[in-house]
Structure 1
Amino acid sequence: THSFTHMLSRHHHSFSCLSSSKHHPRLSQSSSRFQQLFRLHKYHHSIFSAAQTAAQQFHSGHHCFNSTVHNRNMSTSATSTEQRDSSTHIPRKSHLSHEQSPYLLQHSENPVDWYPWSDQAFELARTQDKPIFLSVGYSTCHWCHVMAHESFENEDIAEYLNENFVSIKVDREERPDVDRVYMAFVQAFTHHGGWPMSVFLTPDLKPFFGGTYFPPEDKYGRPGFKTILQRIAKLWNENREALISQSDQIMQGLQQHTGEASASGGAHSEVALQQPDKYLKLGAMKFMNQFDNVEGGFGDAPKFPRPSILNYLFRVYHMYKESDKEMETFADQILRACLLTLDKMANGGLKDHVGGGFHRYSVDEEWHVPHFEKMLYDQSQLVYSYLDAYVATGNEFYADIARETLSYVQRIMSNGDAFFSAEDADSKPTVDATHGVEGAFYVYEYKELKETISGGQEDDTLKMFCELYDCRPGGNVKPTSDPHGELKNKNHLIQRKTFEEVAKNYNRTTVEVQQMAKDALQKLLAFRQKRPRPHLDDKILVSWNGLMLGAFAKAGAILDNMEYIDVAEKCARFMRDKFYTDNGILMHSYRETIAPIEGYLNDYAFLIHGLLDLYEATGRIDWLEWAQTLQEKQNELFWDKKNHGYFEVTGKDKSILLRMKENYDGAEPAGSSVSAMNLARLGTLLGAHTFTSMAEQCLAQNEYLSRAPHAAPHAACALHQVAHSGRQFALVLPENTRIRESQETRQLLHLIQNRLDPAKSLMFKDEFIGMQHEYLKDATPKGGKSTVYLCEHGSCQQPVNSVEGLKKLLHEE
């Protein structure tokens, strides 16, 4: 069993799903903030003796969840599929029936009388004088499904909830503001967190008790959900003043340490701005100390992709490879770490070899057995990482992985305009099954492989395939990765040998083995299509779409693929047409129609990020202008005028008790980190010193940059951008030239985009850009051809208008 502090020091991002053995490895609070929050824990044990016992028992049981996070399932807290099926389920309609969230709709026929997060529910709690039971999860959450089957479909538990509580169901992806506040409480209260999250509130929304997954009955010395409900109801009726007093103390502490009253890094992080290279190197050294030299990745199992680490290390690699001869060995070590990690992920079970795309994380050190959920934000960020690897090495393998990932997103996670959120880990093993099993869609028995690939014959094709992907008659999943035996006798594809090795063993050419594998995978794809598919969460979120459209734009520019750029532009237009209101406000979520939820910090930051990449891929000034407009609106809505940096919410919604900040870069980069990068890029592109200054202020309040830069790798990327952003490529086009129709122009762009120079800026000189940069005012196309001006610190070198001239300028000939 790992202590929480050890988990923090070892793998921040594995924390958030410990209780559910689940996905979203996003840490909701920083380690330093946790240390502050943990001081609040001393209050919790003095609330009342019964609640103290429940909390302590829950906490002791929680270590079971913690210790088994390395496995694909929880340990003794989990019930079998047969036990789950025994709960009574009498469908009924609830107040969730007309909601848009797929997660809420999954619960709309529970016997629990659920309400959405709404004034109606709050007023009901006040009127009936009842505490609130808040359940937070999301539609592709495995242990959310388990708790639903065990407890929320159980008539006895539902009846007790309905009589004694007002029950509220929240989709954390639709309402991250609600999730963030109460996750902060649960993490302070239990030292752990995850989904499903279960919190008990006063009618004025202040939390007083919480946890994550609870089994329905008492078991192994831990109270079950039914017992907890009874104790909470009794305490509410008999000792309410103590509960409310305790709630007030907890909220005061949370407000002091996480809300508007808290101070950020301030002068502590200004040191990083004064000595950026020192702290960039410090963070890289920390990651290299954690690097697994054999299997890749940073730290032990479970292993998460966390692409922001790779993006950061590629920047440090370029910084030392290009400018510091004494550090070339360190740079080479960094490059090897990035490439080995990307190789192992692409060849391992984290990648879906049959259908494309990447799963959430690996439960083992070999990247073999994953948690099978697929998230849109992972696909987008990993595309960036593989494109970085391609640009750094020129190896088409990395470009192909990016292409396969984008192809998967287009086929499965798109409505033709924008992108869906996630695919579930669970699916029904057969059409007649009543409940899903994790990984059922993605694994194969040996006899299925034999029948599908070689028509039931034990021929060389089958043998080569099984040697290539480590498939065996008894399955290839280790029991330690499958403690409940759900993958027994199953094979999950992992490429342990190279095509060359298999070709040599069977006296074939490498090309023949590659074609064999391609044909066999196509047969498996056709076979798999007959299985029940995992649930698709088809809501469209601005934030994740911003990341994805940026990935398509970047891929289009680097791989010279106009189709990808068209996909990106189509998504950007969808964002503008559907989510952007007449008063300049972004909305957050869409499913058939726009949900009445205004955008959060991440919606603005991630979309601006995507638009900037789209501008650099297309040269269309309207995308840059919209990015600027959104940035100005973001500053108006979220900027902390007192301590600098960005709040995650606007503060308009009075039901959100804490206005919090986030600086930790986890599964998704923090909105503040992305914003710092956006501000730095906009400052350069627009010659806007105000934006550059705000980028520096945003970084200065990030406590990690000077204390633990490895905890904020995307913020460290922004620090690098601020410190090394002098190099600007300005492309001047002849009148009426369209990039997609001009081969010469595309060749120049391709050369610029395929240079590993992460801090470079690319702008397209027109009247608007010329007005922002005095040194480009007189820049013109030379010889009637598209012309590149390479500028630094307000002065430009001699312009070039040919690929050969640009290569000489870049010293690449």
Structure 2
Amino acid sequence: MQEEHASRGKPNKLAKETSPYLLQHAYNPVDWYSWGEEALERAKKEDKPIFLSVGYSACHWCHVMAHESFEDDEIAKIMNEHFINIKVDREERPDLDDIYQRVCQLATGTGGWPLSVFLTPDQKPFYVGTYFPKEGGHYNMPGFKTILLQLATAYKSKKQEIEAASGEFMDALAQTARDVALGAAGKASLERSILDEAAVGLLQMGDPIYGGFGQAPKFPNASNLMFLLRYYDISGMSCFKDFVAFTADKMAAGGIHDQLGGGFARYATDQKWLVPHFEKMLYDNALLAQLYSELYQITKAEKYLQITRKTLDFVIREMTHPEGGFYSAQDADSEGEEGKFYVWSKKEIASILGDQAATDIFCEHYGVTEGGNFEGKNILNVRVPVSSVGLRYGKTPEQTAQIIADASAKLFAAREKRVRPARDEKILTSWNGLMISGFAKGYGITGDQKYLQAAKDAVKFIETKIVTGDGRLLHTFKDGKSKLNAYLDDYAFYTGGLLDLFAIDSRQEYLDKAVKYTDFMLAHFWDEKEENLFFTSDDHEKLIVRTKSFYDLAIPSGNSVAASNLLRLYHYTQNNSYLDCAVKIMKASAKPAAENPFGFGQMLNTIYLYVKKPVEVTVITRNDHSSKMAEWLNQQFVPDGINAIVSTNELASLQKYAYFKGRVGDGETAFVCRNFTCSLPIKSQQELERQLTPS
């Protein structure tokens, strides 16, 4: 990225950073700083306002604003003269992004990236927005140049007004910090009625025509869909499962799903899932791999197995560091055009395939036309089922599927020769935790060792490269450097990944690490007053407010995942403090989750686990890890399961944990415990199935 801009002149201070997003701006004429003491002290010393610009490397409109304004000499001159300019990668500093996104929501009713905030030297906001064009006029948007000049003048001549505006923001921020703690909402009892109200409300929000929630833009919202699967489990009502399957099918058929290479884009710009915002984020693919794995467990439909495989194979192929960690994102743009890497003309497809029949079949299946469906080109999306295409061309479904598969392989090989979108090679502990869970679930349903190995390699990467000498997690790694104390999401998501890996490969080291990081989290993030978790640790850099997050949107919240981890760890360890903390977090969130389920999918999953009462399933395998019962268990949908699959030679080391005390296995043996009572040793898959089948 640096080389691209080297011709434009001298690098600014961002050239020393590792973040791909910051490096994208290293040759701007703007005198950018990264967030830190140097910039903040200069603002105070010179009494200049701060312009804070927050974005991320795969953000299309961040690129647009950069090109229009930050690469413009006239704009840069104004910025450099009147402001201290700070660039922040939201993925590196989610704490800063969270604070100032809340400000944007308060001021405008919406948020997003690029985030543009004007601050006093003591970091207090007084004006905020998102994307601003260089010149105003279109869509009634003010021009960035005008805003800069007006705010520079106001800061010098209307200090009282600036102070009043920042004071109002700070009062409102303090109130939101209290509100989001949810304690004021009233702590509800953890009862089935919470799940009933939430599930019905969520289903009513669903789009019955195209699946998903809302109109456009449309996001996968995987946590909400996984909650509806759990509600199907506890209620037995098929309409909840059917809606999830319907949504998953629509997403898989749409342009949001990379039909050739696998993986999902971040969202669709339309209601039909056709036109994606082409960036691919690690967290979406981590969560969707889990969703499709669960759909396979429920339905045993081969299509969900294949989608899971394609998604995980994409991550291994394109998003994995040679030593095992997972990269953050792929850009939407290549060669300066959004989606150019992914779209096709019909003529190009015909030329590559060189066979008219194959071209006709492929194009009919994927809706390819001369006119295209996106700026004159075609986004591949499944328009006509394989069986219907086969009938038209006199082919069996098997023959048709093979023709499409062969054509897809040729087109994928041709696409690989194109200029690729940029890749953000930051490795974030939090998102890696989600992806470890995705690979663990994928291994469970496929039995494919490469997925288990991918999860193990990611754990090894984090433990060797993103953990300090005293055992503390850091947030991010790139170019050989790890930095920034970990946030709540890092501790929660990574612990969740360790527990999901432990459930299918029960090695002591994974449970030991899960306990260690959970104990650190409770010691340094727990709020004794509100009885939940802060986003930052107690020894974090002091910012204008110490926030909390409970909302499960594109990514689950740290509090939601932490509560789930604590609940699971209680069953493995019988440490009552884990259960107490989990219950406190759930109780604070239960009433809002019932009333506004769209923002609490993962919290509802945790409440489900508590209300249903977990079933503890242990399979003791032979020392070679072969086990028919383990294979069968991994393919079942048991969302209330606290599982362990452990070989006899590893069992002794786990005896220190209450879950494993007294467990012995002679060959392949299983145990099922529910309602705090346990079965006799189980010696056959049939008996295990009988024990786990609802009566």
More displaced, 459-468 or 384-393? 459-468
For residues 105-160 of structure 1, the C-alpha deviation after alignment (integer angstroms, 9 at most, x for no partner) is 00000000000001000111111121111111111110110011100111011011
* Residues 199 and 211 in structure 1, CA contact (< 8 A), matched pair in contact too: yes
What does 1:40-119 correspond to in 2, within 5 Å?
Answer: 90-119=8-37
In structure 2, the residue matched to 1:640 is 527
| 2:358 is the alignment partner of 1:470 | no
Moved more, 569-578 or 90-99: 90-99
CA–CA distance in structure 1, aligned partners of residues 592 and 607 of structure 2? 12
| 1:253 maps onto 2:203 in alignment | no
Are 2:692 and 1:804 aligned? no
Q: 1:778 to 1:116 in 2, by over 3 A?
A: closer
Q: Report the CA distance shift for 1:168/1:779 in structure 2 as closer, same or farther (over 3 A).
A: closer
Structure 1 position 188, deviation (Å):
0.9
- Residue 350 of structure 1: how far off its partner (Å): 1.1
- The runs of at least 4 consecutive aligned structure 1 residues that moved more than 6 Å come to none
Q: Are 2:492 and 1:605 equivalent residues in the alignment?
A: yes
CA drift at 1:659? 0.6
Give the letter aligned to residue 524 of structure 1.
L
Structure 1's 687 and 136: CA in aligned 2 closer, same or farther, altered over 3 A?
A: same
Distance (Å, rounded) in 2 between the aligned partners of 1:654 and 1:771: 37
The aligned counterpart of 1:80 is none
Aligned to 2:658: 773
Q: Which moved more, 1:577-586 or 1:289-298?
A: 289-298
In the other structure, the counterpart of 1:532 is 419
1:811 shift after superposition:
4.8
Q: Distance in 2 between matches of 1:102 and 1:576?
A: 23
Q: Residues 260 and 412 of structure 2 are in contact (CA less than 8 Å); yes or no, is this contact kept in structure 1? A: yes
Task: Give distance in 2, aligned partners of 1:726 and 1:541.
Answer: 31
User: How many residues align structurally?
Assistant: 684
**Contact 1:268/1:706 (CA < 8 Å) preserved in 2?**
no
Kindly report the root-mean-square deviation, in angstroms, between the aligned alpha carbons of the 2 structures.
2.0
Query: Aligned ranges for residues 345-364 of structure 1 at < 5 Å?
Result: 345-364=251-270
What secondary structure does 2:389 align onto?
helix
Confirm or deny that 1:190 pairs with 2:105: no
Tell me whether 1:544 sits opposite 2:431 in the alignment. Answer: yes
Q: Does the residue aligned with 2:609 lie in a helix, a strand or coil?
A: helix
Quote the residue 1:237 is aligned against: 156
Partner of 1:423: 330
Among residues 57, 60, 76, which one is paired with 1:142 in the alignment? 60
Amino acid in the other structure paired with 1:343: D
Q: Which digits, 9 at most, give the CA deviation of each residue in 1:284-331, with x for residues without a partner?
A: 11122122233222222222111001110110111112xxxxxxxxx1
Partner of 2:345: 445
CA offsets per residue over residues 713-763 of structure 1, 9 Å max, x none?
Answer: 1100000111223311123346xx141xx2xx2x11122222212011113
Change (3 A) 1:811 1:233: closer
**Is the Cα–Cα contact under 8 Å of residues 554 and 613 in structure 1 kept in the other structure?**
yes
In structure 2, the CA distance between the partners of 1:192 and 1:89, relative to structure 1 (3 Å rule), is farther
Structure 2 counterpart of 1:243, one-letter code: I
CA gap 1:420/1:777 in 2 versus in 1, 3 angstroms: closer
Describe how 1:782-793 pairs up with structure 2 within 5 A: 784-793=666-675
> For 1:659-808, what aligned pairs fall within 5 Å after superposition?
659-702=546-589, 704-733=592-621, 737-739=623-625, 742=626, 745=627, 747-763=628-644, 766-767=651-652, 769-773=654-658, 777-781=661-665, 784-808=666-690
Note the alpha carbon deviations across 1:564-587, whole angstroms, 9 max, x for none.
Answer: 111101110111111111223110
CA contact under 8 A between 2:108 and 2:129: conserved in structure 1?
A: yes
Listed one character per residue, the Cα deviations across residues 238-291 of structure 1 (whole Å, up to 9, x for unaligned) are: 111331233133213312331xx5573337553241x2x111111111122122
Q: Describe the shift of the 1:799–1:548 C-alpha distance in structure 2 as closer, same or farther (beyond 3 A).
A: same
Taking the aligned partners of 2:383 and 2:287, their CA distance within structure 1 comes to 25
User: In the aligned structure 2, how far is the partner of 1:154 from the partner of 1:811?
Assistant: 66
Deviation at 1:557, TM superposition (A): 2.0
State the distance in 2 between where 1:616 and 1:449 align. 45
2:135 is matched by which residue type in structure 1? E
Q: Which residue does the alignment assign to 1:385?
A: 291
The answer as to whether partners of 2:202 and 2:598 remain within 8 angstroms in 1 is yes
Q: 124-133 vs 150-159, which deviates more?
A: 124-133
Return the alpha-carbon distance in structure 2 between the equivalents of residues 613 and 654 of structure 1.
Answer: 32
Query: What one-letter code is carried by the residue in structure 2 that aligns with 1:545?
Result: N
Whether the 8 Å contact between 1:558 and 1:754 is mirrored in structure 2 is yes
Structure 2 residue matching 1:658: 3-state secondary structure: coil
Deviation of residue 812 (structure 1)? 9.5
Partner of 2:144: 225
TM-score by length of 1: 0.82
Q: Give me the whole-angstrom Cα distance separating, in 2, the residues matched to 1:286 and 1:395.
A: 28
Please state how far the C-alpha of 1:770 moved relative to its aligned partner: 4.0
SS where residue 596 of structure 1 aligns?
Answer: strand
Conserved? CA contact 1:584–1:633, under 8 Å: no
Percent identity between the two aligned chains: 38
SS class of match (1:115): strand
For 2:240 and 2:433, the matched residues in 1 are separated by 29
The equivalent of 2:451 in structure 1 is 564
Structure 1 residue 528 displacement after superposition: 1.2
- Give yes or no for the alignment of 1:409 onto 2:315: yes
Supply the distance in 1 between the matched residues of 2:307 and 2:485 (Cα, whole angstroms). Answer: 35
Q: 1:160 to 1:575 in 2, by over 3 A?
A: same
Match of 2:92 in 1: 174
- 2:614, 2:141 → 1: CA distance? 59
Please tell me the residue identity of whatever aligns with 1:225: F
Cα deviation 1:13-67 (Å, max 9, x = unaligned):
xxxxxxxxxxxxxxxxxxxxxxxxxxxxxxxxxxxxxxxxxxxxxxxxxxxxxxx
Residue segments in structure 2 that go unaligned for 5+ positions in a row: none
Deviation at 1:771, TM superposition (A): 4.5
SS of residue in 2 equivalent to 1:597: strand
**Contact (CA 8 Å) 2:134, 2:145: kept in 1 or not?**
yes
Aligned residue in 2 for 1:293: 208
Secondary structure of 1:491 counterpart: coil
Please say if residues 663 and 670 of structure 1, whose CA atoms lie closer than 8 Å, have aligned partners that are also in contact.
yes
**1:96 is matched by which residue type in structure 2?**
L
Q: Normalising by structure 2, report the TM-score.
A: 0.95
1:313 and 1:334 in contact (8 A); partners too: yes
Amino acid at match of 2:163: I
> How do 1:476-495 residues align onto structure 2 when only pairs under 5 Å count?
477=373, 487-495=374-382
Deviations 1:521-552 (A, max 9, x none): 11111221222111100110000000101111
**Aligned pair 1:265/2:182, yes or no?**
yes
2:312·2:439 contact (CA, 8 Å) conserved in 1?
A: yes
What residue number does 1:326 align with?
Answer: none
Alignment partner, residue 226 of structure 2: 311
- Are 1:657 and 2:544 counterparts? yes
Q: Is the 8 A contact 1:269 1:705 kept in 2?
A: no
Q: Could you tell which deviates more after superposition, 798-807 or 223-232?
A: 798-807
Q: Tell me how far apart the structure 2 counterparts of residues 761 and 654 of structure 1 sit (CA, whole Å).
A: 37
Change (3 A) 1:263 1:562: closer
State the distance in 2 between where 1:441 and 1:697 align.
48
Tell me the equivalent position of 1:45: none
Amino acid at match of 2:635: N
Q: Is contact 1:788–1:799 with CA below 8 Å preserved after alignment?
A: yes
Measure, in 2, the Cα distance between the counterparts of 1:306 and 1:811.
Answer: 29
C-alpha displacement of 1:791: 1.1
* 8 Å Cα contact 1:557/1:749 also seen in 2: no
Aligned partner of 2:483 in structure 1 is: 596
